[in-house]
Chain A
Amino acid sequence: NAGVMQNPRHLVRRRGQEARLRCSPMKGHSHVYWYRQLPEEGLKFMVYLQKENIIDESGMPKERFSAEFPKEGPSILRIQQVVRGDSAAYFCASSPPNEGNEQFFGPGTRLTVL
Chain B
Amino acid sequence: SQQGEEDPQALSIQEGENATMNCSYKTSINNLQWYRQNSGRGLVHLILIRSNEREKHSGRLRVTLDTSKKSSSLLITASRAADTASYFCATDNTGGFKTIFGAGTRLFVKA
Contacts and interface: CB of A to CB of B under 8 A. Distances in A.
Interface of A: 4, 33, 35, 41-45, 48, 55-56, 58-59, 91, 93, 99-100, 102-108
A105 B88 CA distance: 13
Query: Which bracket fits the contact residues of B?
Result: 20 to 34
Contact of A45 (B33, B99, B103): B99
B72 to A, nearest CB: 15
Identify which of B35, B44, B88, B102 gathers the most chain A CB atoms within 10 Å of its CB. B35
Contacts, number: 56
Interface of B: 2, 4, 30-31, 33, 35, 41-45, 48, 50, 88, 90, 92, 96-104
A102 B33 contact: yes
10 contacts: A42-B88, A42-B102, A42-B103, A45-B98, A48-B98, A56-B97, A59-B98, A103-B33, A103-B45, A105-B44
B24 to A, nearest CB: 14
Contacts of B33: 102-103
A35 B45 contact: no
Nearest to A110: B40
